[in-house]
Chain A
Amino acid sequence: MTAILFYVFAALAVASALVVVGQRNPIYSAFGLIVTLCSLSVIFGLLGSPFIAALQVVVYAGAIMVLFLFVIMLLGVKPEDRESGGTLKAVALALALALAAEMGVVLLGADQPPASSLDASTRAVAHVLFSAPYLYAFEATSILILAALVGSIVLARRDA
């Protein structure tokens, strides 16, 4: 059952990712990305991380994508009127194939990991997050958020 759900949502994620890349209209790309993010959330849940699955929906599909849609609506939805050049297409395809081959070799050559049981409840994740090595990074994150907040206000101001 888990495997069936995994493959269904994996196919959905790949299909909507192709929509993101294939569409000329940014609105359709944004909606495709929302579907990808929600399918990935299901897959996170199936892989045994309910906290990250919830966070994915709330932060990514909820907050970040609303921000994207807001900016698209603000700046107007003009579909792209021209394609990328042939050289760029060839380079992109070559790079993508190289990347896929490289990572495919690594993944297929790796040993299958043994089954492991893992307590990934929110309580367990919080214990790791709020203890020694990660606590400092967590505190630094709050400064990052504050800097991003001030920075985006300054950048988007009309008289900047």
Chain B
Amino acid sequence: MSADLVQPALVLSLVLFVVGALGVFLRRNIITVFMCVELMLNAVNLAFIAFSRARGTLDGQVLVFFVLTVAAAEAAVGLAIIIALHRGQDTLDVDAFRILKW
């Protein structure tokens, strides 16, 4: 029944990934940029699920499990970094953070 949904699911994953990538470029608020990265991760998860469906194995779903775990760890550390950056200068604009630039 849902085997014919594999290709539409891959197209949806492509659309979500491109929208997320556009957001990473266009948004200026660092938290919104971070949310766009999460959107891209979810697009990849959808592709994993679709491939798992198409191939009839569970490896794709196990990989999604790992992506979820890494995304949770990444969100925790990333948001802590954002808080630390915000303490240094009172803005969230991505262009303001150039302390690593020589």
List residues of chain A with CB under 8 Å of any chain B CB: 2-3, 6-7, 10, 13-14, 17-18, 20-21, 23-24, 26, 29-30, 33, 36-37, 40, 43-44, 46-49, 51-52, 55-56, 59-60, 63-64, 67-68, 71-72, 74-75, 78, 80, 82-84, 88-89, 91-93, 95-96, 99-100, 103-104, 107, 110, 112-118, 120, 124-125, 128-129, 134, 137, 141, 144-145, 147-149, 151-153, 155-156, 158, 160
CB neighbours (8 Å) of A64 from chain B are 38, 71-72, 75
Please give 19 more A-B residue pairs, beta carbons under 8 A apart, in addition to A52-B45, A116-B54, A125-B58.
A20-B32, A20-B35, A21-B39, A47-B49, A52-B64, A75-B31, A75-B92, A80-B27, A80-B28, A83-B28, A88-B26, A96-B18, A100-B14, A112-B7, A113-B6, A128-B58, A144-B69, A151-B77, A155-B81
The total of chain B residues at the interface (CB under 8 A) is 72
Q: Which residues of B in the span 42-62 have a Cβ within 8 Å of any Cβ on A?
A: 42, 45-46, 49-50, 52-59, 61-62
Interchain CB contact under 8 A, B35 and A30: yes
- Give Cα distance in the complex from A10 to B97, angstroms: 36
Q: Tally of A-B residue pairs with Cβ under 8 A?
A: 235
List residues of chain B with CB under 8 Å of any chain A CB: 1-12, 14-23, 25-29, 31-32, 34-36, 38-39, 42, 45-46, 49-50, 52-59, 61-62, 64-66, 68-77, 79-84, 86-87, 92-93
| Interface residues of A, dominant DSSP | helix
